[in-house]
Chains A and B, each alone.
Chain A
């Protein structure tokens, strides 16, 4: 009875009512207009069509109705989801949910629920937000679908493993681990083979949960969609090489949602095609994201979700456009590695080489390349208390940028989701000093 009721709810509630209503709402422009672009130093951000925006919102909307109709997997942001997509799973990202809570400024309240249960404030704030949401039931999404499978991949950090072990315990669902050895050097055949064998091991587990067999043609299709979306995302980010840049990294943080959540789906491709077209038009019009772009800055590490607009406006008022970010770039740089003809091997290779699974020197090389390509005047390294694999090594990277490349670099201590770690006044003062430093070098 229960599956039938879920299916009925899905068909009537979601398909017949909620989804059309969502599209109507977006197409009719019922959403509140943003403040940006009216009285600030920022031009109105380049958006995508209402249809594409609605497609993104629809992903979360479907999550409210999907339980009992499609199998649900909770996955880490760097996990190879192509196999799950090919098997028809609804894929939910607790990290993105954490970011959403941060952007809506409710993360601190939610993570306190986890802290009350004994989770240390020293732990990752995404994890605390997610566990707090699970324990308290609070979420800006109204409802999060309960998972049938957890998939953790250690290519972004070891924290996700500890976090997902807790989830597995609370939710009593199977946890499958894709363990990716850290690449201090180039990946060896053994390491690639190890990840590939784990992917092979995932297939029967996911098939059993999904109750259907994997079609290889479908997997190849999903991989090719993943590759295309990733390639388009790279092109979107590279539009920021233009002067003035039509895009800020803060816009990029918002627009990265489809590449994370809808990778391997056609919606992500349509979304980025549309965005790319609009950005190219903007370049032709020589219209920048910042009204008076004087300095071009690179952002390293995760964004400060709860101060995204505040930071964008604060910097724009001083003529600073944060044109690029290593974080958004991390989702784009590996596009050429994907090959739909050899899906498992290339998935293994690609996900093993993600930005966070490489050493500090390699990250520095990426930064150096971006400084050159995007004509960067300064670098802000967000020293994120919650993300140790990203942050450890930043002090040496900063020294290297300043002393060897003669690029002003600022280490800004905060947390991506925990607003209690954001010292407002101190950060303002430091950013102002950073801008002055860049001014002196001009």
Chain B
């Protein structure tokens, strides 16, 4: 029997009213989020917006040390620390030299006054916030700064750091070739050697080949663990927020500590009941409110294409060759990345493969404003993905301390769209061929 038209309208309007109500609640609660920047927030110790008492519980379950607690600890042990800017760099070389890398991706909401004296307003927030943070908080605690040449903005920042600021700390740059040909790999081997030699005056030693190989093997082991964690996350449906806190702890934890946490923390993770499955693409999911909101909306991130995460998983099965060629092969083997000049079609195939593997219904592109390598791909890439039946949403952020109302609303609409598609995909999967 056909439903009555009025009844049908009422039924269709009810979820919208419900989500509008939820949206306003989310927004007001998100806006309550810390106004004063605090570097501890950056590591993910974010108060639970909905329930402050729950926050305490969660903090205890995922008792990750703060980024700067680690820096102090490492320095107390007599080791050197490097502040590292995004994206690709040879972590293994630093580790072999006994230098501990701590990465700087922002932090969100950090005031940009210091950077505003050096960079125009059209410079990306990762550079402006990172530069300010480095000068106001980090420099006195680190022994060197590493700036990989990931884009024009970071190149400009490295130039200003080296030429115009008297920070008293060495600044090392690293250039990852923009293609993956033989000549690029040969250059990369030399670039790695140059970087390795430049670390010697800082660490005061020349590590043995065996130390370097050990570092390579350790990182390959970490990549393996990361893959397993992802598999488990997809099966279990862990909270996106907690899972990404763990993943991102790799940005500052020593590898051994990270492996320990990776082993113990997941058993305490909250689980969400996913209504939809998505891929998350971009540079960095900051503010982490984004992941909290995805949890609330029931969107499970089943795979990522983030510069701070999966784009830096460099798997290489051949660990028998010499250390530098081996490391170059590892870096060359990373997944497609717009900052590395990979063709758009390659990115498209990679994303579709991930979406098909994990039955994702949509892709969320969360990009920093003014990020040219990412923004150039978006029109073509989203069109290709939409033609493939995947829902896409592009959000641009300036690494603010919280999400805007507009973003929350758009994410809610996206969640509904993805939930429908995921349901369809899951049903399709269950139907026998």
Query: Quick one: which of B155, B157, B370 has the most chain A CB within 10 A?
Result: B155
Complex CA–CA separation, A159 to B376 (angstroms): 9
B302 nearest CB across to chain A (Å): 25
A141 nearest CB across to chain B (Å): 24
Count how many pairs of residues, one from A and one from B, have CB atoms less than 8 Å apart in the complex: 152
Q: Do the beta carbons of A388 and B160 come within 8 Å of each other?
A: no
Q: Is A34 an interface residue (CB 8 A)?
A: no
Q: Do the beta carbons of B164 and A360 come within 8 Å of each other?
A: yes
By a CB distance below 8 angstroms, the chain A residues around B175 are 181-182
Complex CA–CA separation, A400 to B165 (angstroms): 12
Which of B177-185, B264-272, B316-324 lies on the face that meets chain A?
B177-185
Which of A304-312, A372-380, A390-398 lies on the face that meets chain B?
A390-398
By a CB distance below 8 angstroms, the chain B residues around A284 are none
State which of A119, A159, A166, A177 has its C-beta within 8 Å of the C-beta of B152.
A159
Which of B11-19, B46-54, B114-122, B417-425 lies on the face that meets chain A?
B114-122
Q: Do the beta carbons of B177 and A393 come within 8 Å of each other?
A: no
Q: Do the beta carbons of A169 and B344 come within 8 Å of each other?
A: yes
Which of A6-14, A96-104, A122-130 lies on the face that meets chain B?
A122-130
Complex CA–CA separation, A23 to B149 (angstroms): 48
Complex CA–CA separation, A395 to B159 (angstroms): 12
Complex CA–CA separation, A127 to B164 (angstroms): 30
A423 nearest CB across to chain B (Å): 14
Q: Is B426 an interface residue (CB 8 A)?
A: no
Which of A83-91, A193-201, A262-270 lies on the face that meets chain B?
A193-201
Q: Is A314 an interface residue (CB 8 A)?
A: no
Q: Do the beta carbons of A388 and B156 come within 8 Å of each other?
A: yes
Q: Do the beta carbons of B173 and A184 come within 8 Å of each other?
A: yes
B376 nearest CB across to chain A (Å): 4
Complex CA–CA separation, A198 to B177 (angstroms): 12
209-259 of chain B: CB within 8 A of chain A: none
Q: Is A109 an interface residue (CB 8 A)?
A: no
Given the known interface contacts A124-B372, A360-B156, the answer about A392 and B119 at a Cβ–Cβ threshold of 8 Å is yes
State which of B119, B158, B181 has its C-beta within 8 Å of the C-beta of A184.
B158
B117 nearest CB across to chain A (Å): 7
189-221 of chain A: CB within 8 A of chain B: 190-191, 194, 197-198, 201
Q: Is B162 an interface residue (CB 8 A)?
A: yes
Given the known interface contacts A361-B159, A385-B122, the answer about A118 and B164 at a Cβ–Cβ threshold of 8 Å is no
Q: Is B191 an interface residue (CB 8 A)?
A: yes
Q: Do the beta carbons of A158 and B122 come within 8 Å of each other?
A: no
Question: What 1/0 flags go to B108-142 for Cβ under 8 Å of A?
Answer: 00000000011110110000000000000000000
State which of A154, A168, A177, A190 has its C-beta within 8 Å of the C-beta of B187.
A190
B409 nearest CB across to chain A (Å): 20
Q: Do the beta carbons of B160 and A396 come within 8 Å of each other?
A: yes
Q: Do the beta carbons of B376 and A360 come within 8 Å of each other?
A: no
State which of B119, B122, B164, B372 has its C-beta within 8 Å of the C-beta of A159.
B372
Q: Is A389 an interface residue (CB 8 A)?
A: yes
Complex CA–CA separation, A122 to B173 (angstroms): 26
B contacts, CB < 8 Å to A: 117-120, 122-123, 149, 151-153, 155-160, 162-164, 173, 175, 177-179, 181, 183-184, 186-187, 190-191, 194, 338-339, 341, 343-345, 369-370, 372-373, 375-380, 382-383, 396
- Contacts A395-B118, A400-B164 aside, 13 further interface pairs with beta carbons under 8 A come to A127-B376, A157-B152, A159-B372, A170-B380, A175-B343, A179-B178, A181-B177, A361-B164, A389-B155, A392-B120, A392-B153, A396-B118, A396-B160
The 6 A-B pairs at the shortest CB distance, nearest first, are namely A392-B156, A118-B379, A162-B376, A361-B163, A396-B164, A359-B159
List 7 contacting pairs A-B, 8 Å CB cutoff, sorted by A. A157-B152, A158-B155, A158-B339, A190-B187, A360-B160, A361-B162, A400-B164
